[in-house]
Amino acid sequence: MGEAPVLFGDDLQGSISNGYHLKLKEYESAIVVGNKTYVIGEFDDPASNGVRVFDKSTREWVIPMVLGTKPNGFMGCSMMLLNNDRILIIKHNTKSSDCVWFLEVDTQFVQEQKKKFGTEVVCWSKGVIGDAERPIVISGPSGVGKGTLINMLMEEFPAMFGFSVSHTTRAPREKEQNGVHYHFTNRDVMEEEIKAGKFLEFASVHGNLYGTSIEAVDVVADAGKRCILDIDVQGARSVRASSLEAIFIFICPPSFEELEKRLRARGTETEELIQKRLNNAKAELEQGTSSGLFDHILVNDDLDACYERLKKILGLDGSTDTTLKTPTEVFALPTEMSLSKIDDKIIMNSENADQKIVLDLSCMKGGAPGRTRGLRMYPADLRTDDNTNGSV
Ligand SMILES: Nc1nc2c(ncn2[C@@H]2O[C@H](COP(=O)(O)OP(=O)(O)O)[C@@H](O)[C@H]2O)c(=O)[nH]1
Ligand SMILES: Nc1ncnc2c1ncn2[C@@H]1O[C@H](COP(=O)(O)OP(=O)(O)O)[C@@H](O)[C@H]1O
């Protein structure tokens, strides 16, 4: 992230420097972005949903469509505009693990949503401290063994991976549990939720609607795990166009006959549904292997051999030490602070605390509609190589 214009939310409290006096309520903070003043903080007010915008050009208040999971337990914040497209928000009175949030106001994702919904849109993205492992998208025709391979990974590395539980309008199979294998829903409800912007991607597959909610991916990131998505090729294409920065793996059968054999042997579908899946498999195999969409194509011939190849792609074959992770220290933040910025580092200054705290954004990844990952946070005096004494 390059040099960005800096505005301080705290400085604007009470008197907004856009020619209008905006009276803020307790715990509200405001920041000016171009012609607009964003006021953040009244989360209990269902009318504003925590964000209201004063548009200087029309002299009107706008209640934007607010996407993403919003922060809770909000007791004021310090804010800074980054890159002219997102507001960095450091929540007061909280732990370092929950203090960094971004309200995206003009990022590519938000611009797309504004076009789609024809209205003012903002989107929350929680900042996640620590190394960012890329989510994994696994696609392939029905019956190829995606679920089997994913289960093997989750069983061998339970602390490392979390499954993105999709929504679907198809009926549950005998052993499938709601909320574990899928969120089973009906079409009307799901279509409403899609309209409300709750989905990262969705597609019609084998006559049913399937989709990944933003929350499904966030829940896994919040648990500190690497997210696995089992989605079709259309979904993979949508995710590729999103900010998720995933690794894309396509699973192929050794032959079409073998795919058919596996699908029948699984015994979960009627003959009619098997035919539908086999028909769709042809197009999926064609797109999966020729579109350039996937980073890796794996042939699931021998299951154990395929699993080993999958682990190798994910760096789990013993060639990298996956147990050595940078520990993420959790510490309390000052209740009052001002922010300054040096290159990619945000310095939290407080008169009451002896230490400055640094938020390093140099490895920042992702963003709305999911989490903003790869952030580092540490007390300034622990890293002597940091020049954190100056301010901008
Ligand atoms: N786009 C999209 N596809 C999904 C999602 N969840 C599952 N799918 C795909 O939907 C297809 C059918 O899944 P399912 O009904 O569980 O059948 P199975 O693949 O035969 O086990 C598979 O290709 C899945 O990868 C989702 O959230 N989004
Ligand atoms: N390499 C393999 N060799 C033989 N059978 C397999 C292999 N991989 C998976 N299977 C079997 O094929 C069936 C379909 O696998 P599944 O994981 O449900 O596929 P998908 O999730 O891609 O629809 C299951 O009965 C599974 O046990």
Query: Do residues 122 and 193 share a domain?
Result: no
Mean pLDDT of the chain: 85
Rg (C-alpha) for the chain, rounded Å, is 23
Q: pLDDT tens across 147-196, in order? A: 999 999 999 999 999 999 999 999 999 999 999 999 999 999 999 999 98
Distance 330 CA to ligand 1 centre (A): 38
Mark whether 173 is an active-site residue: yes
Share of the chain above pLDDT 70, in %: 85
Output the CA torsion sign for 193, 195, 199, 204: positive
Atom of ligand 1 lying closest to residue 181 CA? 16
Query: Do residues 15 and 105 share a domain?
Result: yes
**Residue holding tokens 């903002």?**
122
Q: How far apart are the first and last CA of the chain?
A: 16
Question: pLDDT at residue 16 above 60?
Answer: no
The pLDDT, as a whole number, for residue 3 is 34
Query: Do residues 112 and 160 share a domain?
Result: no
**Predicted structure pTM score:** 0.77
Query: Do residues 214 and 187 share a domain?
Result: yes
Residue whose Cα lies nearest atom 15 of ligand 1: it is 170
Nearest to 207 by CA among 304, 300, 142, 139: 142
Question: pLDDT at residue 198 above 60?
Answer: yes
The pLDDT, as a whole number, for residue 6 is 37
Assigned token pair, 366? 């992702």
Question: pLDDT at residue 1 above 90?
Answer: no
User: Which one of 170, 237, 240, 266 is the catalytic residue?
Assistant: 266
Contact yes or no for 78/348 (Cβ under 8 A) = yes
Question: pLDDT at residue 136 above 90?
Answer: yes
pLDDT band, very low/low/confident/very high, at 129 (cuts 50, 70, 90): confident
CA atoms of 16 and 30, how far apart (whole Å): 8
User: Which one of 86, 226, 277, 373 is the catalytic residue?
Assistant: 277
Q: Across residues 282-310, what is the average pLDDT?
A: 95
CA atoms of 201 and 292, how far apart (whole Å): 19
Distance 252 CA to ligand 2 centre (A): 11
Query: Do residues 70 and 91 share a domain?
Result: yes
Q: Decide if 389 is inside a domain.
A: no
- Please provide residue 97's backbone torsions phi and psi, each rounded to the nearest 5 degrees: -70, -15
- Amino acid identity for residue 55 in this structure: D
25-34, 105-114, 294-303: which range is least confident on average?
25-34
Q: Decide if 37 is inside a domain.
A: yes
Q: Decide if 386 is inside a domain.
A: no
Does ligand 1 lie within 6 Å of residue 238's CB atom? no
Q: Across residues 346-375, what is the average pLDDT?
A: 86
Query: Do residues 109 and 154 share a domain?
Result: no
The residue among 208 and 222 whose pLDDT is bigger is 208
Cβ burial of 40 (10 Å; 0-12, 13-18, 19+) is buried
Does ligand 1 lie within 6 Å of residue 170's CB atom? yes
The residue among 86 and 369 whose pLDDT is bigger is 86
**Three-state SS for 63?**
coil
Does ligand 1 lie within 6 Å of residue 152's CB atom? no
Give the ranges where the chain is alpha helix by DSSP (H): 9-12, 108-117, 146-156, 187-195, 214-222, 233-240, 256-266, 271-290, 303-313
43-47, 113-117, 129-133, 144-148: which range is least confident on average?
43-47
CA angle at 20 for the pair 17 and 26, rounded to the nearest 5° = 80
Assigned token pair, 194? 């899609």
Q: Decide if 384 is inside a domain.
A: no
Query: Do residues 36 and 180 share a domain?
Result: no
Domain count, the chain: 2
The pLDDT, as a whole number, for residue 94 is 82
The pLDDT, as a whole number, for residue 207 is 92
Interface pTM, i.e. ipTM: 0.98
Residue whose Cα lies nearest atom 7 of ligand 1: it is 231
Distance 366 CA to ligand 1 centre (A): 24
Q: Decide if 252 is inside a domain.
A: yes
Range of the domain at 308: 136-313
Contact yes or no for 309/250 (Cβ under 8 A) = no
Q: Across residues 116-142, what is the average pLDDT?
A: 90
Q: Decide if 318 is inside a domain.
A: no
Q: pLDDT tens across 272-290, in order? A: 999 999 999 999 999 999 8
The pLDDT, as a whole number, for residue 10 is 41
The pLDDT, as a whole number, for residue 114 is 94
Q: Across residues 65-84, what is the average pLDDT?
A: 87
CA atoms of 359 and 3, how far apart (whole Å): 15
Mark whether 277 is an active-site residue: yes
Query: Do residues 76 and 197 share a domain?
Result: no
Q: Which residues of 263-297 are buried (b: 16+ CB within 10 A; e: fewer)?
A: beeeeebeeeebeebbebbeebbebbeeeebbeee
Assigned token pair, 174? 């005998």
The pLDDT, as a whole number, for residue 18 is 42
Share of the chain above pLDDT 90, in %: 61
Residue whose Cα lies nearest atom 19 of ligand 1: it is 142
CA atoms of 156 and 154, how far apart (whole Å): 6
Query: Do residues 87 and 161 share a domain?
Result: no
pLDDT band, very low/low/confident/very high, at 249 (cuts 50, 70, 90): very high
Q: Decide if 257 is inside a domain.
A: yes
The pLDDT, as a whole number, for residue 389 is 44
Mark whether 266 is an active-site residue: yes
Does ligand 1 lie within 6 Å of residue 284's CB atom? no
Ligand nearest to C-alpha 266: 2
219-222 — which CB contacts under 8 Å span 24+ positions? 219/162, 219/165, 220/135, 220/162, 220/163, 220/164, 221/126, 221/128, 221/370, 221/371, 221/373, 222/126, 222/128, 222/371
The pLDDT, as a whole number, for residue 21 is 55
What lines the ligand 2 site, CB under 6 Å? 140, 142-148, 262, 265-266, 300, 303, 306
